[in-house]
Copies of this chain bind each other. A is one copy, B any other.
Amino acid sequence: MKDVITDVGEKLKAREYKLTPRRESILRVLLENKDKHLSAEEVYNLVKEKAPDVGLATVYRTLELFSDFDIIHSMDFGDGRKRYEYGDSEATGHHHHHVICLKCGKIFEVAEDLLEDLELRVSRDLDFEVVNHQLKIFGYCKNCRA
């Protein structure tokens, strides 16, 4: 994990940005919650545990910055707020599908990719350069049907 942080530091430095202590604590929270799809406010609350004086605006600005650098990526489950996850969108977005329960809101992940055919067809028929895709499957989970 130390490596990741150093890595991010370099990445930022390469474009004249700094990995300040504030940014580092935000990054840590993201790293410690790789699998959680945190909202900005959730990140804020977690960062506040370690650094009580952060501002929400800083969290937003940092998440934006990290997204620009493709250090994290944001996603949208239709609940009115963006959610963030460590990792670039190529790694965790593409070929990564979300199954969302309409009742409890729980999110499951499916790593499979059966979409290559479809992407090919889109590229060909529409003369469109596909760079990513996003699949959400809605329904009711085991518990909520009980």
Contacts and interface: CB of A to CB of B under 8 A. Distances in A.
B122 A131 contact: no
A30 B130 CA distance: 30
Contacts of A76: 76, 78
Q: Please give the count of copies of this chain that the complex contains.
A: 2
Interface residues of A, number: 34
A140 B131 contact: yes
Interface stretch (A4-12, A14-22, A54-62, A111-119): A111-119
Contacts of A139: 128-132
Interface string A106-146: 00101010110111011000111111111111111110010
Given A129-B139, A131-B138, A135-B133, A114 B117 contact: yes
Interface of A: 76, 78, 97, 99, 101-102, 108, 110, 112, 114-115, 117-119, 121-122, 126-142, 145
